[in-house]
């Protein structure tokens, strides 16, 4: 049986694909209008201009408490030449908002008049016409334009509309979308119990993300029940949708080149494929089609691809429908902390963490896989690598689109270095007590952290580097790699490091020496990490050649990733911390209790951000949370040592 696959024969650039989309539909004419009450119109787009029906104020009113007079009767009055006025003849008491009595045009504040008796008041200063008076139409004049077509109604607008005598308005109907999640591997999270996923199953999340994106861009959606990889069922669903009242359709999944990716075939059967494949990454497999004169999209299955495809095509299309300008993110200049390679001919959206270190904004790239949704949830910005270059140089200034307010970057503590689970607790406790402060950590290993300090791209580094000559931690490495930088070493924790093995330790692993057995595969940590240095040191002590270990070349960047590799069966064992094993209910064979320090340059030590971090480390709440992880010791947490230049 032959397998039918899709092939990207004519991929378009981002600019070309967007042009095709916008030129293929009369987008501003797609939406109809509806009438809603003014209070319900907030965030809606006006389909017609709105003019005032009444003036505001509709009569002259007092703007102050006091007496209303004809201004001309006060001309010439002064402290040396006061004037007595008779109430209800020359003057009339009024409160703020009262209609001015006939033949009056000014209000004298109650604070500057002298009451002589019930019928007489004395004034010692003149008033001028319309003083302390709100005149007819001062705010709104009947028939004047309040808001033009395509204006987005805000809460402020409600007051202006109601005050101008407008109680209902015509607005554009929200774009209506049908989202069709497809894929035989998908399961609905609402049908699952804890830990109930079976091998090969994937929780369907894209349709929920896409739906909320549609709402945030001004539309409504309906989520169809999940459809297995059945081309006839998908075709029937899309055909029904384009004949219904939906303005556009999203087929979630099935847009790539696999044998069970049916979106392209369905769109071809019902209409026309305008674009299949765009030279962006993530997001390349997007399909743009037309059926029954309506846009139909094949959205990639990987979550980051799906989001970027939406933000580059679906969202802008919705704004065109609504007559709104395209959304533009703030742009700032940043410096990548390391070289970024990229494929020539592809525009890449690189997610980055950002932080202000010294006088520059540094950008640390996050994982670039299209399936890593956390690369967006953790990102502060996006660097777009143009399709005509093969990458970006380290520290060379580039532009980044901001995903968060720029002010938040000034309140970000940038940590680079060895991974430790207690950094997550520290980040949470800092955010709980200082909502405007964020701790951002990147895991590149202990030596990688020291090198980041040397390059000036972080505020502090996490390190647990063992000196095999005397058993000390970090000091000798700091002197070697940071000879010109005075630092403070602050002990975060002591932690138990050992061998993470499956529950029950089925292969009976008792220590490092067992790793040389031919029936055992390991998962390693990356070069430069303290854990890797510890493993290599112990192997050397035992006379075991590292290259003889099965899996020695397979590397992970965090202790939790090592634990996951063991849990999944990808490896029999990995060196890591007790807390990681405990978190995933794995067994643990102790090897050593090690010291994990925060290395902080003296330049930053006295800053408010670092003092907040240190104060948080000293709280009983932080320490008690650390102990619940297991395998940690806090007796020396917060101890400070100086290493001057």
Tell me, yes or no, whether 550 and 487 share the same domain.
yes
Q: What integer pLDDT is reported at residue 2 of this predicted model?
A: 43
Tell me, yes or no, whether 215 and 151 share the same domain.
no
Tell me, yes or no, whether 123 and 44 share the same domain.
no
CATH number of the structural domain spanning residue 154:
3.90.105.10
In angstroms, rounded to a whole number, what is the distance separating the alpha carbons of residues 597 and 601? 13
Domain boundary among 70, 104, 134: 134
pLDDT in tens, 13-68: 999 999 999 999 999 888 999 999 999 999 999 999 999 999 999 999 999 999 99
Q: What integer pLDDT is reported at residue 8 of this predicted model?
A: 60
Tell me, yes or no, whether 459 and 578 share the same domain.
yes
Using the predicted structure, report yes or no on whether residue 541 has a pLDDT greater than 50. Answer: yes
Domain boundary among 72, 104, 134: 134
Residue 465: pLDDT band with limits 50, 70, 90: very high
Using the predicted structure, report yes or no on whether residue 371 has a pLDDT greater than 90. Answer: no
Torsion 438-580-529-398 (CA) sign: negative
Using the predicted structure, report yes or no on whether residue 326 has a pLDDT greater than 60. Answer: yes
Q: What integer pLDDT is reported at residue 236 of this predicted model?
A: 96
pLDDT in tens, 72-131: 999 999 999 999 999 999 999 999 999 999 999 999 999 999 999 989 999 999 999 999
Helix (H) / strand (E) containing 63: none
CATH number of the structural domain spanning residue 339:
2.40.340.10
| Cα–Cα separations (whole angstroms), residue 24 to 17, 101, 227, 299 | 11, 64, 28, 18
pLDDT in tens, 416-431: 999 999 999 999 999 9
For residue 48, what are the domain limits? 33-56+139-172
Tell me, yes or no, whether 469 and 594 share the same domain.
yes
Domain contains 439: no
Tell me, yes or no, whether 462 and 607 share the same domain.
yes
Tell me, yes or no, whether 511 and 491 share the same domain.
yes
Q: What percentage of the chain carries pLDDT values higher than 90?
A: 89
Tell me, yes or no, whether 589 and 451 share the same domain.
yes
Using the predicted structure, report yes or no on whether residue 259 has a pLDDT greater than 60. Answer: no
Domain contains 425: no
How high does pLDDT run on average in the chain?
94
Domain contains 97: yes
Q: Are 554 and 523 in contact (CB under 8 A)?
A: yes
Q: What is the mean pLDDT of residues 233-249?
A: 95
CA angle 14, 17, 21 (to 5 degrees): 135
Q: What is the mean pLDDT of residues 258-271?
A: 85
Q: What is the mean pLDDT of residues 437-443?
A: 92
Alpha helices in 323-396 (DSSP H): 374-377
Domain contains 438: no
Domain count, the chain: 5
Q: What integer pLDDT is reported at residue 191 of this predicted model?
A: 86
Using the predicted structure, report yes or no on whether residue 1 has a pLDDT greater than 60. Answer: no
Tell me, yes or no, whether 391 and 484 share the same domain.
no
Q: What is the mean pLDDT of residues 324-335?
A: 95
Q: What integer pLDDT is reported at residue 468 of this predicted model?
A: 86
Tell me, yes or no, whether 95 and 180 share the same domain.
no
Tell me, yes or no, whether 222 and 158 share the same domain.
no
CATH number of the structural domain spanning residue 265:
3.40.980.10
Q: What integer pLDDT is reported at residue 9 of this predicted model?
A: 61
Structure tokens, 268: 């071809």
pLDDT in tens, 483-517: 999 999 999 999 999 999 999 999 999 999 999 99
């Amino acid at each position: 049986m032959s397998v039918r696959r899709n092939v990207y024969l004519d991929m378009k650039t981002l600019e070309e694909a967007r042009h095709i989309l916008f030129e293929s539909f009369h987008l501003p004419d797609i939406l109809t209008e509806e009438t809603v009450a003014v209070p319900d119109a907030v965030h809606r787009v006006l389909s017609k201009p709105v003019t005032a029906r009444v003036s505001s104020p509709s009569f002259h009113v007092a703007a102050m408490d006091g007496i209303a007079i004809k201004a001309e009767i006060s001309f010439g009055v002064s402290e040396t030449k006061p004037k007595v006025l008779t109430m209800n003849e020359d003057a009339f008491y009024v409160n703020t908002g009262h209609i001015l009595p006939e033949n009056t045009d000014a209000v004298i504040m109650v604070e500057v008049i002298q009451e002589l008796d019930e019928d007489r008041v004395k004034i010692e200063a003149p008033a001028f016409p319309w003083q302390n008076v709100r005149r007819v139409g001062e705010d709104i004049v009947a028939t004047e334009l309040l808001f033009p077509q395509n204006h987005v109604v805000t809460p402020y607008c409600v007051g202006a509309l109601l005050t101008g005598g407008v109680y209902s308005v015509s607005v554009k109907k929200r774009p209506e979308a049908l989202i069709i999640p497809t894929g035989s591997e998908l399961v609905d999270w609402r049908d699952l119990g804890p830990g109930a996923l079976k091998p090969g199953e994937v929780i369907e999340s894209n349709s929920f993300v896409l739906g909320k994106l549609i709402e945030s861009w001004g539309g409504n959606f309906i989520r169809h029940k999940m459809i297995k990889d059945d081309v006839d069922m998908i075709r029937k669903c899309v055909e029904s949708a384009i004949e219904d009242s939906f303005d556009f359709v999203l087929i979630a999944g099935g847009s790539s080149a696999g044998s069970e990716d049916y979106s392209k075939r369905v769109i071809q059967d019902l209409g026309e494929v305008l674009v299949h494949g765009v030279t962006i990454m993530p997001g390349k497999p997007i399909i743009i089609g037309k059926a029954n004169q309506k846009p139909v999209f094949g959205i990639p299955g990987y979550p980051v691809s799906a989001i970027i495809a939406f933000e580059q095509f679906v969202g802008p299309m919705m704004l065109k429908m609504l007559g709104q300008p395209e959304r533009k993110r703030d742009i700032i200049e940043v410096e990548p902390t390391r070289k970024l390679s990229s494929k020539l001919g592809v525009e890449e959206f690189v997610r980055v963490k950002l932080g202000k270190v010294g006088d520059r904004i540094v950008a640390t790239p996050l994982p670039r896989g299209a399936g890593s949704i956390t690369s967006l949830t953790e990102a502060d910005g996006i660097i777009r690598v143009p399709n005509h270059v093969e990458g970006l140089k380290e520290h060379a200034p580039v532009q980044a689109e901001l995903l968060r307010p720029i002010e938040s970057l000034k309140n970000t503590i940038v940590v680079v270095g060895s991974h430790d689970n207690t950094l997550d607790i520290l980040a949470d406790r800092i955010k709980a007590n200082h909502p405007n402060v964020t701790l951002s950590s990147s895991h590149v290993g202990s030596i990688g952290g020291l090198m980041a300090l040397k390059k000036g791209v972080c505020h502090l580094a996490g390190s647990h580097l063992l000196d095999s000559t005397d058993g000390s931690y970090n000091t000798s490495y700091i002197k070697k790699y940071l000879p010109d930088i005075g630092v403070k070493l602050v002990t975060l924790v002591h932690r138990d490091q050992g061998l993470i093995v499956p529950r029950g330790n089925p292969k009976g692993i008792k220590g490092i020496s067992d790793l040389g057995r031919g029936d055992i595969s390991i998962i390693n940590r990356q070069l430069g990490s303290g854990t890797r240095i510890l493993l290599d040191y112990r192997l050397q002590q035992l006379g075991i050649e590292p290259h003889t270990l099965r899996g020695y070349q397979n590397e992970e960047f965090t202790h939790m990733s090592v634990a996951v590799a063991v849990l999944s069966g990808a490896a029999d064992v990995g060196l890591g911390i007790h807390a990681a094993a405990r978190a995933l209910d794995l067994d643990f064979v102790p090897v050593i209790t090690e010291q994990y320090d925060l290395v902080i340059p003296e330049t930053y030590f006295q800053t408010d951000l670092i003092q907040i971090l240190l104060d948080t480390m000293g709280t009983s709440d932080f320490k008690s949370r650390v102990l619940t992880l297991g395998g940690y010791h806090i007796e020396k947490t917060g101890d400070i040592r100086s290493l001057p230049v």
